[in-house]
Amino acid sequence: MNKVTKEQYKYALAKVETLLPLVDDNTPANDKKALELSLMSDIVIDYEKKHFPIETCCLIY
């Protein structure tokens, strides 16, 4: 995925929050809202991995 900007991240995060109540386990994978949720989630994950990394050395198991 290309570099995600802060503005794209904020937009995607807001869309995820809007779409989550509309999509559940019974929603078909090819449903428009499910596809959009998947795409927006990927954008959020990509941005957070780069800007808010979790260091494995500091995790307590």
Tell me the torsion sign for CA atoms 51, 55, 58, 60. Answer: positive
Please check the confidence at residue 1 and state whether its pLDDT lies above 60: no
58 pLDDT tier (thresholds 50, 70, 90): low
pLDDT tens-digit readout, 7-52: 999 999 999 999 999 999 999 999 999 999 999 999 999 999 999 8
Q: Is residue 10 in some structural domain?
A: yes
2 pLDDT tier (thresholds 50, 70, 90): confident
DSSP letter, residue 52: S
Number of domains in the chain: 1
Within 8 A by CB and 6+ apart from 41, the residues are 12, 16
What's the rounded Cα separation, in Å, for the pair 15 and 37?
7
59 pLDDT tier (thresholds 50, 70, 90): low
CA gyration radius, the chain = 14
Domain containing 49: what range?
6-58
Q: Is residue 1 in some structural domain?
A: no
The answer to whether 15 and 44 are in contact (CB under 8 A) is no
